[in-house]
Structure 1
């Protein structure tokens, strides 16, 4: 039995790829659910050292269910091809030379549809990938050669312009992170290098109609963990000295960074830094580095904002806040009870007023993506009674306040992130369903739950052929946008 909780229970990896057709459905799948639900997450393809393994570093695996005509047509799970799968499956991985700074772990964090493509995403300089409709890895995706050196796991598509916005980070960028805008032609339209306090892990950002919101928070690059994972033992002391002198200060030449050995599942090269200045930055969407307004906040960490929108004089952001992360426990985000907050950020006064919206331990907030950057009326979150990352609680919270609508599943059931699907493109905000994986640990089985977005009551359930490990992020890709 593993001593690492992120290798056991709901996190235990599956060891094979499956394809299953004509899945059993309980209830009635709506005809308007025509597309694929896809979800990405870590799934090490080989045995790993439980003493050093961090959940964020596992090889990527995408799980997908195709729904159409009231039926569940197929389920597939596929590793995102990388050097790891090439070694283990004898399957040619895409060539990343010159197209990404880092090599190794297959994109393991998110999967989206953009410009008719299916993209598996990751951050920190690792390569993203384009997948086929059947989830086979086609190639590295670098936006037609216009984005080199890695991307992000959490881009945001503006629902009006249909452009894709992102903030990307990598240890080789010195004291910079990069804001980028991908045009509707799938190519980079503009980018801005934003000066930050060092080399932070910047998992996500927020976007409004006017402003880019950047979270410069105290989880920073750890040279010791990085060299232990990638550098031969005999030269680790020298490598650590070099990294400590360069990282977070000056850019590391691409030619040097790209020659590091490929990353493998193991230690995460980022950790909590109590001495790092925590702050949030506001930059006009068409502005540059000199236009960023920085506002100090109390030390904390943000993985996942729910949404942001403009108000007179500033920005309001609803987001999940962790008191800290990767401090004593380096295996995963298990420290500091996470909760939902609202930050009202005043650009002129340079203040951030923090308001706790709910005391429950929740994560993976989602909303109606058709209103990204605009005022939203509902958000959906999963959580637990004991403060853990995954549990049996699903909730809809109203932006205007009031008590949440809560559904508690049975003991021994864990929930993944739930994604909102509108009933139609022109449906009113929040009219539709939420979909996500529900795992019964005692039965060792997983189903795709389709619930009414407002009441959280059952619409239908699709039983999958095996348990799906707890993972990160999923999205609904309607047939019309594939």
Structure 2
């Protein structure tokens, strides 16, 4: 889309939002453990209960929405629309050296802070980057879907530049690219809020440059938050949450909605540089929505196994945040010969943010880790460990008034067993109005934490992050 067209669409959206009715009512996504913080801080020599494993040398980083100023109309604020803020804790030599938080310097954030704009190219009619932070090709990138380019950060979480990956990225990117640990390729399925008739499969090589781009025809402009890999396929989720002109005209900040007219299907795109969109094998699936896959693999009989967190519906009524009523951990068996999908519920407890040992991406695996979702408990929120071979479930209950975010698995060493390592997550403690970085032994999830790093500030509930080892990205103390 041309710059002139971008400006026209941007002017239309801003005009619609100015005409939208004011709504100054309360908003749960701006309150309690979701309430934003309004300053950047740095804390050093962090106090620790327990012992930080000396093998952990790197940065635990996580990002989430955090408006730089209180929203003018809080009742219209959508959780997914807040300015991105990255939070990180640097661990080294058994110590927690520092915590800091930094807003991602988009144009609006830089203007609000009275700073010059960060360098680098922009695309689309919005710049917000708030959904994931990863390391690849020796760089740290903050990511989002639907339009903006990645934003490069340094190891102190400061914005370096917006990047189109050396001029090779010509589309929107994804918050959930998946790295095949055997090939070093980063695969993403991306959508652009301005392009309703195509998705894009993007491959980024070890050098941090796009090596493949494939357009995939679709209808209605589906919202595709995640994808998955097997050794043979890239898995494309084409599910019934789609672009909603009606919501756009109402001034909704995130104009996507449940669309029962949209065919619900899963695509199997061969991982072959010569494959085209015509080679995708589509499998029908009962209508639902998936934000997050856990992992996938090929089965000997030609079917594909895909583990997901499935929401019964999404954005059916709410215009400010998720509104599903039932959320389950499921295993889907995709049969490309029949074009069918068989869904099996592995656990019907409400849960989200599935993670696993990233060394097993696209291969058979045994352990999945999730966090409780939409459940009230006197013992606080839970982190679950699923043994997918035996069906055994272990839970770590963080205690009254304590709520965990997504947990990231870090192996003890490169050749460690699949669950030999640690689970790291930020835990919000309402009892003291602050947060902790909690480190659990993945082989004793229900036991006491290996270490609790105490922060003197809150980390609002957010989205995704990763462990960035000192061997992945050059970093100082």
TM-score (norm 2): 0.90
Alignment of 1:370-389 (within 5 A): 370-384=359-373, 386=375
Q: In 2 relative to 1, CA 386–93 (structure 1 residues): closer, same or farther, beyond 3 Å?
A: same
Q: In 2 relative to 1, CA 82–425 (structure 1 residues): closer, same or farther, beyond 3 Å?
A: same
CA offsets 1:10-30 (integer angstroms, 9 cap, x no match): 100000000111100110111
Matched-pair contact (CA < 8 Å) for 2:367–2:388: yes
Please tell me whether residue 475 in structure 1 is matched to residue 463 in structure 2.
no
For residue 276 of structure 1, the aligned residue among 237, 262, 266 is 262
Q: In 2 relative to 1, CA 2–24 (structure 1 residues): closer, same or farther, beyond 3 Å?
A: farther
Please state whether the residue corresponding to 2:247 is helix, strand or coil: helix
Please tell me whether residue 289 in structure 1 is matched to residue 311 in structure 2.
no
Distance in structure 2 (CA, Å) of the matches to 1:450 and 1:117: 25
Please state whether the residue corresponding to 1:202 is helix, strand or coil: coil
Q: Which runs of 5+ in 2 are unaligned?
A: 1-23
Please state whether the residue corresponding to 1:51 is helix, strand or coil: helix
Partner of 2:7: none
For residue 60 of structure 1, the aligned residue among 69, 84, 93 is 84
CA offsets 1:336-388 (integer angstroms, 9 cap, x no match): 22110000001101110100001110000000001101011101000047379
Alignment of 1:222-371 (within 5 A): 222-227=244-249, 229=251, 267-286=253-272, 287-311=275-299, 312-371=301-360
Please state whether the residue corresponding to 1:268 is helix, strand or coil: coil
Q: In 2 relative to 1, CA 385–44 (structure 1 residues): closer, same or farther, beyond 3 Å?
A: closer
Please state whether the residue corresponding to 2:215 is helix, strand or coil: strand
TM-superposed CA distance for 1:115, in Å, is 0.8
CA offsets 1:130-167 (integer angstroms, 9 cap, x no match): 00111110101211110023211000011001111101
Please state whether the residue corresponding to 1:172 is helix, strand or coil: coil
Please state whether the residue corresponding to 1:17 is helix, strand or coil: coil
Partner of 2:399: 410
Partner of 1:184: 206
Distance in structure 1 (CA, Å) of the matches to 2:391 and 2:104: 42
Q: In 2 relative to 1, CA 115–409 (structure 1 residues): closer, same or farther, beyond 3 Å?
A: same
Please tell me whether residue 101 in structure 1 is matched to residue 124 in structure 2.
yes
Q: In 2 relative to 1, CA 384–269 (structure 1 residues): closer, same or farther, beyond 3 Å?
A: closer
Matched-pair contact (CA < 8 Å) for 1:385–1:391: no
Q: In 2 relative to 1, CA 385–186 (structure 1 residues): closer, same or farther, beyond 3 Å?
A: closer
Aligned CA-pair RMSD: 1.7
Partner of 1:76: 100
Matched-pair contact (CA < 8 Å) for 2:196–2:218: no
Alignment of 1:125-144 (within 5 A): 125-144=147-166
CA offsets 1:172-216 (integer angstroms, 9 cap, x no match): 333110001111111111111111232000000111111011110
Distance in structure 1 (CA, Å) of the matches to 2:88 and 2:398: 23
TM-score (norm 1): 0.89
For residue 158 of structure 1, the aligned residue among 180, 193, 210 is 180
Please state whether the residue corresponding to 1:186 is helix, strand or coil: coil
Distance in structure 2 (CA, Å) of the matches to 1:419 and 1:219: 27
Please state whether the residue corresponding to 1:480 is helix, strand or coil: coil
TM-superposed CA distance for 1:425, in Å, is 1.1
Q: Which runs of 5+ in 1 are unaligned?
A: 230-265
Matched-pair contact (CA < 8 Å) for 1:10–1:441: yes
